[in-house]
């Protein structure tokens, strides 16, 4: 098991990629704490799946856009589970909208959740790891959207580029403490975040058609890469970004 005896904290763990990563971390031997903002039923289901694997699970509600949520989540999770070995910054939103009439509130909320939230959470987790000693691993869920654009994502893609950049700089700042920082860059993964957008069958088929592996992703497709980067198997990997997109990015023609 890749994470035996470790404790893993994941933001946005109540659904989609975060939920899949939480359950896989438990399957790989970790106790897991998840943060979420509203989906009590989803969070409780993930905790039940963690406990069914014989591990401890904790769900803590809070808005990652609020700086205090970060210290509260890391502190309460560490109190419950003992320490913080792995931190996965995953919570995010993508309210699709055209550029020219993008409401300021939509732009600012997307920045606050996706980028500011990641910063506060990673900072709080890193401070805990430094204080407890022994190093650690941080994995941030960025996106293929850190590298390419989207017409209805002009507020969103900069946040994903920012998260990718945050991991690069944090890798330098935290290397001396033995804390590794990496990002995963998912392609299009079928989750709640894009359920409405991909209800457009034409768009969904066009998106799938550009994937060399022939399908859009499932949340479980991210679980292995996240666990790998979190594990000691990746002990000399830091500041790296791992595309998990079925080959979509390289498919120019
Ligand atoms: N799906 C995709 O195609 C891709 C997704 N990503 C990224 O993956 C990450 C996870 O998204 P995905 O699994 O797809 O989407 P989901 O909508 O399924 O999951 C989003 C998670 O984030 C939580 N969340 C949202 N806002 C907040 C907040 N303010 N504070 C705390 N938690 C919050 C949600 O909690 P709750 O359930 O309580 O609302 C939920 O647990 C995001 O960062 C996204 O940008 C990257 C590339 C592609
Ligand atoms: C939510 C989108 O479908 C998804 O988000 C990303 O980051 C990917 O690039 C997809 O566009």
Cβ of 189 below 6 Å from ligand 1:
yes
Domain 7-244, second-level architecture: 3-Layer(aba) Sandwich (3.40)
Q: Atom 11 (ligand 2): residue with closest C-alpha?
A: 188
Cβ of 185 below 6 Å from ligand 1:
no
pLDDT at residue 204 in the model: 97
Closest ligand to 248 CA?
2
Question: What mean pLDDT value characterizes the chain?
Answer: 98
pLDDT at residue 158 in the model: 98
| Joined tokens for residue 224 | 């292995």
| pTM more than 0.95 | yes
Between the CA of 62 and the centroid of ligand 1 the distance, in Å, is 13
Ligand 2 pocket: which of 92, 154, 187 to mutate (most atoms within 8 A of CB): 187
Strand order through the sheet with 57-61: 57-61, 31-36, 7-10, 86-89, 136-141, 179-186, 241-244
pLDDT at residue 248 in the model: 98
Cβ of 39 below 6 Å from ligand 1:
yes
Whether 60 contacts 33, CB under 8 Å? yes
pLDDT at residue 200 in the model: 95
Between the CA of 253 and the centroid of ligand 1 the distance, in Å, is 31
Which parts of 29-182 fold into alpha helices (H)?
40-52, 67-81, 104-111, 117-132, 157-174
Whether 231 contacts 28, CB under 8 Å? yes
Percentage of the chain lying above the pLDDT 90 cut: 100
Domain residue spans in the chain? 7-244
Cβ of 246 below 6 Å from ligand 1:
no
User: pLDDT class for 41, splitting at 50, 70, 90?
Assistant: very high
Angle between helices 117-132 and 157-174 (to 10 degrees): 20
ipTM of the complex: 0.99
Distance CA 102, CA 12 (A): 25
To 5 degrees, how large is the angle CA 160–CA 166–CA 171? Answer: 135
Ligand 1 pocket: which of 9, 13, 17, 249 to mutate (most atoms within 8 A of CB): 17
CA 113 to ligand 1: nearest atom: 29
Average pLDDT over residues 163-190: 98
pLDDT at residue 238 in the model: 99
């Amino acid at each position: 098991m890749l994470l035996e005896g470790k404790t893993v904290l994941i933001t946005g763990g109540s659904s989609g990629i975060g939920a899949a990563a939480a359950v896989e971390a438990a399957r790989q031997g970790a106790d897991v704490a998840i943060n979420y903002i509203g989906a009590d039923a989803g969070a409780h289901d993930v905790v039940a799946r963690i406990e069914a694997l014989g591990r401890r699970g904790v769900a803590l509600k809070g808005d990652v856009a609020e700086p205090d949520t970060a210290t509260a989540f890391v502190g309460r999770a560490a109190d419950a589970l003992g320490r913080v070995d792995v931190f996965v910054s995953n919570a995010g939103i993508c309210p699709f909208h055209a550029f020219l009439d993008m409401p300021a509130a939509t732009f600012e909320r997307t920045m606050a959740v996706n980028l500011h939230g990641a910063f506060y959470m990673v900072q709080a987790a890193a401070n805990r790891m430094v204080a407890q000693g022994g190093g650690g691993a941080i994995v941030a869920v960025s996106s293929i959207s850190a590298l390419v654009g989207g017409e209805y994502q002009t507020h969103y893609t900069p946040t994903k580029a920012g998260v990718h950049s945050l991991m690069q700089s944090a890798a330098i700042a935290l290397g001396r403490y033995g804390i590794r920082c990496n990002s995963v860059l998912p392609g299009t993964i079928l989750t709640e975040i894009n359920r409405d957008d991909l209800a457009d069958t034409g768009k969904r088929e066009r998106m799938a058609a550009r994937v060399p592996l022939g399908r859009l992703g499932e949340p479980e497709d991210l679980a292995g890469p996240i666990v790998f980067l979190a594990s000691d198997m990746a002990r000399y990997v830091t500041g790296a970004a791992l595309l998990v997109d079925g080959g979509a990015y390289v498919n120019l023609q």
